[in-house]
């Protein structure tokens, strides 16, 4: 079975974001948790934004936030947003 770092990295970021859902997280912050570059983070989370899992805001105080409560986000939602399959 191939290891999918994009799925695991997305889940890691979402768990951190769920701990403080009222605060926007920057791509740099998320990149710090994942030990990767902010550009990689932006590419990774674009699918999550398009799927309605994350919201983004530009400018001062901007960043990424959960678009819905963490309890309403499933593993299947995240996998589908990233175009991943479990089979």
Which run of H or E residues covers position 63? Answer: strand 63-66
pLDDT mean across residues, the chain: 89
Q: Using 50, 70 and 90 to split pLDDT, how confident is the model at 51? A: very high
Going 17 to 24 to 75 to 40, the CA torsion angle's sign is negative
Residue 3: predicted pLDDT: 54
Residue 4: predicted pLDDT: 62
Q: What is the largest CA-CA distance in the chain?
A: 42
Rounded to whole angstroms, the Cα distance separating 28 from 39 reads 9
Rounded to whole angstroms, the Cα distance separating 26 from 40 reads 13
pLDDT (mean) for 69-85: 93
pLDDT (mean) for 63-74: 95
What percent of the chain shows pLDDT beyond 70? 93
Asked if 14 and 25 count as a contact pair (C-beta separation under 8 A), the reply is no
């Amino acid at each position: 079975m191939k290891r999918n770092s994009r799925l695991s990295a997305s889940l890691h970021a979402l768990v951190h974001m769920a701990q403080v859902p009222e605060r926007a997280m920057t791509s740099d912050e998320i990149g710090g948790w994942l030990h990767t570059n902010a550009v990689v983070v932006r590419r990774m989370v674009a699918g999550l934004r398009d799927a309605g899992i994350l919201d983004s805001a530009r400018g001062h105080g901007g960043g990424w936030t959960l678009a819905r409560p963490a309890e309403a986000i499933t593993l299947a939602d995240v996998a589908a947003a990233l175009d991943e399959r479990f089979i």
